[in-house]
Amino acid sequence: MKTALLLVLLIVAPFWAYTQSSCDPDQYTLAWSKATDFYERSGPNQVNKQLTANFDSKKMQPRMGTALGWLQRKTQGLAGAISTSSYQNFYPGNSHPDALYTNAWYQATGRLGYYYLRTSSHYLTCVDNNPIEIPGPAWIDIQFNYFNQFAKPVQTTDKEGVIVPVQLDGRPVFSVPEKHSSNGRIDNYEFPGEVPDYVVDYSRMWFYHAFVLRNSDKPLFISVTQRDYLNYYLKQMERFYLDFKKILGQSVPTNSLQDILAEKDARIAEIKRLTEEGAYGYSKDNLANRLQKAEEFYQTKLEEEKSKTSGGNSEVDQEYQESVRLIEDYLNSEPESILSKAISEIETKPTHEISLTASVLEKLKAPKPERGWSKNTQFAFINPEYFDKSLAPDVPQFIAVEITNNENRHKHLNELAYRLRKDWDFAELLQLLGNTGPQTFLATAEAKPKGGDNFLDKLDELTPLGFVLPPLSMPMGGMLGDVFPKRSYSSQKLTIQFPERSPALDALPKDQTQAEYIKYLESLKTSVEGAMSGQSLSASDNLVKTQKISTSEDYSRNAIGVWLSGNPSIALHLHSKASLVDPENGLSANNFAVHLQKSGYPEKALPILNYWLNRYPENSLVLGNAASAYYFLGDIQSAMKLAQKTVELDSLHPNANKILAFGHYRAGNKKLCAGALGRSLKSSYDEEAVALLQEVDPDWDISDLIYEGRKKKSALKLLDEFRLPAPISSLDEAEDQAETIEKALSSIAGTLEGIQRQKEKNEQDPTKAPFDLSRIAQAVMNQGSFTELQLLAQTVVTESWNTYQKQYGEEGQYLEKKLEQDYSNFQVALGEIMKKRNQQMANLQGGTPEEETKLMQIQKEACMAQNKIVNDYLNATYQTIRPFASRMELISREHFNTLAYWMPIWMQSTEAADVLGLQYNYLQDIRNILVQYPIYFPQDCDIFSTDEEEEILGPLMVWEDKFCPIKFVVGMGVAKAGLTCNTISISGGEGIQGEIEFKLNENWDSVEEITVGGGIGASWNLGARGIFEVEAGVGNKGYLKFGRNSATKEWMYTPIDIGAKTEINAVGKVAKYELEVKVVEMSIGLRSGVKADGLISQLPILK
């Protein structure tokens, strides 16, 4: 037996060794294929038909054939990709006035139609020794008279909420990368450019290389200058100011002055009458006094009414006039060399507020940052003189070769861009410019028809529709709020008491050199060591020795863990060493400053933060922490200034927004105060922020703010991986796409049946209690008290239900009515054809060869006319269904994922989410969308067929029986915490306070990392504005992550936010030593932020 096994191993081993080393992306070269061409159909245009009348796709096809031949020649020898498919795209454009209103390209050029060749080619990577295509955009677009990717219109919303282009003097503005290089009439653009060494994270970014081939020496783009922008700003600011005054006048109800005077006369007459009648309390002795008080009362009332209309307007007028003066002074004082500079930022919603105007001018004056990667864009107009408007859309006037590379991972696309920039060989494309047609054509790839398998993109967010949906005619069902009412919030008035200005501010070092900065760090280390006990100092040194800590990163990570264990002096000691080991490590320095501040020493933290702000003035992590330090030291003006800069970079920064809210509150600007509080609550729950928001603007829906910041797009794997088929767009693809739709419906039906069987099986299992939400809810109610995390979860769940039922119901109702109208029009058109056919056939008896031929001809013509009507109907319904189907899928997915994540946390039970039920309900929603897809096939107008319809089966989906966002046990300081979906409790500790996010591993069965918020940084960014176009990101907000050690698979640190403002004894383990630190009236949690009372207590851990 052993001999046989050995022989098998000897035979298999060489093959196994070969397969293990056979995956090499560079051994693959491009294999070309042809995908289905796309033709945009916007429906029958009732107006402006002249704009699309001369769009002739037949003239465009050979030009794209030439482009494909050129591309195949330029990509010869590229390695690392296999599948390379191309298809032609034709866009006549939508000439409806509503479409033209939002079309920046048409408004800029007066042109509508364009066409382009798209090639998709994904680079390979090796997974389990198999070549796998890297996901994400990997496109090569050859555009004729248009560009899709590298330059984009700047947009805003009009008064009705419709997204429209930003226009300066009637000219739409585009965001365009700065030109990288040129060669004659060929311009090269790159964004964001080659990645410098100091950038370590560019996930979710699209990289662009673009080559624009012009047919003349005229520039395609004209830069928007500072003068252009400020003149636009003045006009928009005036418009906002006048509208604001109108609203202000309407919002202040005033009583008629005549009514007040009449009321006064009536009261005086009443006093005299009661005095004459001898009424109780009225006498001639006090008559004069009563009359005087009445006069004073109504005089005061008259003055108050007059001030209602004049007071608010006076303040607005002053702000507007000062803002105008600031801009006009800038325009009159700056030289033309400055005013003619291109701009890279635009405020699309100018207001009359001085702070915003001053900020705009400050940005114009600011020098370009030394490290400006990803900021190499500027704003420009399209040159109106460039185009010859007499030429038809098929005649190329410029050609844009655009290469789109997701996350810069498709290496062969970069190689193609470098080739093009090296030899500037665009010979075949240049021949096409300005010609009525190409002279020669290169051989194109053999066309391989492909139909079906068309799916809709999964949306990440709902964009405004541009119109208001009618309300639901009947509710979808009972809101969860009928069972669990909305959470109520304390409305107790908040007293804001700013800290007194600290004398320490005058002694802060300014503009430190590196040598001075290092000397300052050494003095802090000495102070910490001088205050530490011998036992603590020994424990710190032994920790460094036993853990073999040597790098700045290691010191900083251990310092955070020690801090969370309740040993702040040892933590500061390790932080001081982290900063000195590598003075160039800004992240370690920031984390040192944060813990100095949380220990009650903002004056010690501020010199560190200011040193790094001088180097990186747009780092939101450091800006936010410096704002907090100035706040606690009583320099409110500096705190406000830094908080404003922080919010410009990270709009949802909780601490910075809270500081701004306090400042706006003191200034009496309730509108700005409420806006800042709303942004703060989206990212971090804060009782003080809630109380103040309810005071300044009770109309804000706090529950909705909490929900918007915490809803989940991803949780259940089935929901995240399901792909919604696209509706049928034409008879050409009907048979193939119908099969795709039928497979999806069959798959859903089988999966629903399987989930139902699983639920029945679970109910029969004696070890599993049947799902009973009321029972679970009652158990939660019996707790008597709830953690803040539970209360947040309750709010998110109830708001998710309310939002889902309103949005899904309204969009579904609109879609259903629109499809009913489309179907009605379709039936009328079919009826007209049948009526015409019957009339023609009624005059023929048949029987003779001539009449039989005529009858067949009539039937064939009717058949072909029916096919055309059906094709138009499918196209119309495709345009109707496509956007709403994607939107409704997102609404459903977001809702049920949110319930899966937050219900276990709220109810403290895995049963609460009813994971099987959530997946079942999602699939029902999807089925309700799919059954509305019309399915028709083309009639064979030559031979009529009666083939039996074949049943199409789809595969079962994989569903989850349980889902839990918390699946692990960790130690927390003195406490041992078991975090599961059955219990969230800590014995011997303070309890969980603050918000936590969990990331599951690739198998969705364990937690990889935990994220908690605060001023501690997990990654160091250089302040790139609008990173990844995401408001709240891990890197930008400075969240702290705790994860598993990649080697040992053990948890590195525990994510606890002690967050208790009380006197406690915190005992924590440092290596094998146990030490005790007295924590007096100090919140040492990661979410400790600014407080309305302005107080910060000091730990005795520094000399």
- For 95, other C-beta atoms within 10 Å of its C-beta total 21
pLDDT recorded at residue 712: 65
| Secondary structure element (H or E) that encloses residue 616, with its range | none
Q: Could you tell me whether strands 968-972 and 975-979 are parallel, antiparallel, or unpaired per DSSP bridges? A: antiparallel
Higher pLDDT, 996 or 579: 579
Is the pLDDT reported for residue 253 higher than 60?
A: no
Is the pLDDT reported for residue 522 higher than 50?
A: yes
Read out DSSP for 966-1021? --EEEEETTEEEEE-SS-EEEESS----S-EEEEE-TTSSSEEEEEE-SS--SS--
The amino acid at 20: Q
Is the pLDDT reported for residue 444 higher than 50?
A: no
Q: Looking at residues 673-691, what average pLDDT do you find? A: 81
pLDDT recorded at residue 11: 29
Higher pLDDT, 933 or 653: 933
The amino acid at 953: L
Q: What's the number of CA atoms in the CB half-sphere (13 Å) around residue 905?
A: 23
Q: Looking at residues 1028-1035, what average pLDDT do you find? A: 22
3-state secondary structure of 697: coil
b/e 419-453 (16+ beta carbons within 10 angstroms → b): ebbeeeebebbbebbeeeebeeeeebbeeeeeebe
Higher pLDDT, 987 or 891: 891
Q: Which of 23-27, 349-353, 873-877, 908-912 has the lowest mean pLDDT?
A: 908-912
Higher pLDDT, 613 or 27: 613
Of the candidates 582, 590, 580, 579, which has an alpha carbon nearest to the alpha carbon of residue 619? 590
pLDDT recorded at residue 19: 34
Of the candidates 180, 108, 112, 166, which has an alpha carbon nearest to the alpha carbon of residue 386? 108
pLDDT tens for residues 2-22?
A: 333 333 223 233 323 333 346
pLDDT recorded at residue 82: 80
Tell me how many helices (H) and strands (E) the chain has. Answer: 30, 26
Question: How far apart are the C-alpha atoms of 830 and 333, rounded to whole Å?
Answer: 71
- Percentage with pLDDT > 90 across the chain: 11
pLDDT recorded at residue 520: 92
Q: Looking at residues 856-871, what average pLDDT do you find? A: 85
Higher pLDDT, 249 or 792: 792
Q: Which of 504-508, 869-873, 1053-1057 has the lowest mean pLDDT?
A: 1053-1057
3-state secondary structure of 387: coil
Q: Which of 31-35, 311-315, 881-885, 1084-1088 has the lowest mean pLDDT?
A: 1084-1088
Q: Looking at residues 344-360, what average pLDDT do you find? A: 80
Domain layout of the chain by residue ranges: 29-220+394-432, 229-360, 503-713+1011-1079, 717-930
- CA 499, 684, 557: angle at the middle one, nearest 5? 85
pLDDT recorded at residue 23: 75
Greatest mean pLDDT among 61-75, 298-312, 347-361, 1036-1050: 61-75
Residue 259's contacts (CB-CB under 8 Å, 6 or more residues apart) are none
Is the pLDDT reported for residue 199 higher than 90?
A: no
3-state secondary structure of 1081: coil
pLDDT recorded at residue 783: 57
Is the pLDDT reported for residue 211 higher than 90?
A: yes
Question: How far apart are the C-alpha atoms of 517 and 829, rounded to whole Å?
Answer: 81
Averaged confidence pLDDT in the chain? 74
Q: Looking at residues 99-111, what average pLDDT do you find? A: 87
pLDDT tens for residues 372-413?
A: 777 788 889 999 889 888 888 899 999 999 999 888 888 889
Q: Looking at residues 719-741, what average pLDDT do you find? A: 88
pLDDT tens for residues 934-982?
A: 998 888 776 433 344 455 666 666 666 655 544 332 322 222 233 333 3
Token pair of 382 as six digits: 């399209």
pTM for this structure? 0.47
* CB distance 1102 to 527 below 8 Å: yes
Q: Looking at residues 651-668, what average pLDDT do you find? A: 85
b/e 566-576 (16+ beta carbons within 10 angstroms → b): bbbbbbbbbbb
* CB distance 38 to 87 below 8 Å: yes
- For 290, other C-beta atoms within 10 Å of its C-beta total 18
In SS3 terms, 619-639 reads as CHHHHHHHHHHHHHCCCHHHH
Question: Can you list the alpha helix ranges (DSSP code H) found in 716-733?
Answer: 717-721
pLDDT recorded at residue 47: 61
pLDDT recorded at residue 609: 92
* CB distance 54 to 92 below 8 Å: no
pLDDT band at 839 (very low <50, low <70, confident <90, very high): confident
* CB distance 931 to 979 below 8 Å: no
Question: How far apart are the C-alpha atoms of 1102 and 1086, rounded to whole Å?
Answer: 20
Q: Looking at residues 87-91, what average pLDDT do you find? A: 88
Residue 984 — φ and ψ, nearest 5°?
-125, 95
- Class of domain 503-713+1011-1079 as given by CATH: mainly alpha
pLDDT band at 118 (very low <50, low <70, confident <90, very high): very high
Question: How far apart are the C-alpha atoms of 918 and 759, rounded to whole Å?
Answer: 12
Residue 6's contacts (CB-CB under 8 Å, 6 or more residues apart) are none
pLDDT recorded at residue 547: 81
pLDDT band at 169 (very low <50, low <70, confident <90, very high): confident
Question: How far apart are the C-alpha atoms of 351 and 799, rounded to whole Å?
Answer: 32
Sign for the pseudo-dihedral over CA of 651, 654, 656, 659: positive
* CB distance 1072 to 1091 below 8 Å: no
Is the pLDDT reported for residue 1066 higher than 50?
A: no
Token pair of 581 as six digits: 């080991």
Higher pLDDT, 785 or 461: 461
* CB distance 797 to 776 below 8 Å: no
Question: How far apart are the C-alpha atoms of 217 and 398, rounded to whole Å?
Answer: 11
Question: Can you list the alpha helix ranges (DSSP code H) found in 684-714?
Answer: 687-696, 702-710
The amino acid at 433: L
Sign for the pseudo-dihedral over CA of 350, 353, 354, 358: negative
pLDDT tens for residues 544-588?
A: 888 888 888 888 877 876 776 667 888 899 999 999 999 888 888
pLDDT tens for residues 120-152?
A: 998 888 887 788 888 878 899 999 999 888 788
Of the candidates 1067, 1069, 1086, 1085, which has an alpha carbon nearest to the alpha carbon of residue 1077? 1067
Rg from Cα positions in the chain: 35
pLDDT recorded at residue 150: 79
Residue 257's contacts (CB-CB under 8 Å, 6 or more residues apart) are 302, 305, 306
Is the pLDDT reported for residue 302 higher than 90?
A: no
Token pair of 867 as six digits: 């096919």
Is the pLDDT reported for residue 719 higher than 50?
A: yes
Is the pLDDT reported for residue 251 higher than 50?
A: no
Q: What's the number of CA atoms in the CB half-sphere (13 Å) around residue 96?
A: 9
* CB distance 133 to 49 below 8 Å: no
